[in-house]
Amino acid sequence: MAQSNLQAAPPGQEDRAQPAALSAAQSHLSVWIFRIFAAAIVVVAAVSIAPTIDQWLPQLSEVQILGSVVLIGVGLLHLGLTSDPFWVILGLLTALSGFEIIYAGVEISALVQGLLASVTLGLGVIGAYLILSPTMEPVE
């Protein structure tokens, strides 16, 4: 949503206007098929790994572990397929949210949960900054 409301990339930065290129690529059928299959492989791997992790973490239910492993896997897959700041931040937030599901079940410290929340918020802020910074006033 943030990116859809942004101005066009400044002149001379067309090579960095990846969102436009990305949306064009996304419309291509083969890209969609590849991504769906890759995500399916990640989900299958997550389903196979989840019981092993369940043995290490008896405090968490199998559904929680499965969900978090899927999020981590899909997030990492997403990071491997893009270098655009917006999509990288989404990938990081996805993977981090998967980790936070597991960690919330084993760590009870309020400070840690607060710090993790601040990291999540900070990632969002930095993501918005990275998208907007080319159009901001220089600070040299």
Partner 1 sequence: MSSPILWIVLPGAVSVLLLVIQRQRLVVYITGTVLALLLAGLAGFLPIGESVSIGTFSIPFADTLTVLGRRFVLDSNDRSTLLLIYLGLAFWLIGSWVAHASRIFVPLSLAVAGLLTAALAVEPFLYAAIILQIAVLVSIPLLSAPGKPTSRGAVRYLTYQTMGFPFILFTGWLIAGTDASVANREPLTLAYILLGLGFWLLLSIIPFHTWIPMIAEESHPYAVAFLLYELPLAVTLFGLGFIERYPWLRETAGLYTLLEIAGVMMILIAGILAAFQDHFGRMMGYVILVEIGLSLIAIRVGMPPGENERLLGLFFAILLPRALSLGVWALALVAFMRHSGEGDKAMAPSQQLKFRELRGSARRLPVATLSLVFAYFSLAGFPLLVGFPVRLAIWEETAKISMVIASGVLAGYIGLIIGGIRSVAVLVLSSDESPWKVSETRLESILLILGSLVLLVMGLLPQLFTPALAQMAEIFLRSSP
Name which of 44 and 117 has its Cβ closer to partner 1.
117
Pick one of 2, 8, 16, 28: the residue that binds partner 1 (CB under 8 A): 16
Q: And the tokens for 136?
A: 């901001």
What's the chain's length in residues?
A: 140
Name which of 66 and 92 has its Cβ closer to partner 1.
92
Residues whose CB falls within 8 Å of the CB of residue 113, separated by 6 or more in sequence, listed in order: 104, 107
Q: Which of residues 24-53 bind partner 1 (CB under 8 A)?
A: none
Q: Which span sits near partner 1 by CB under 8 A: 20-28, 34-42, 43-51, 87-95?
A: 87-95
Judged by CB under 8 A, does residue 133 bind partner 1?
yes
Name which of 1 and 110 has its Cβ closer to partner 1.
110
Measured CA to CA in angstroms, residue 55 lies from 58, 87, 106, 108, 131 at distances of: 6, 33, 14, 20, 42
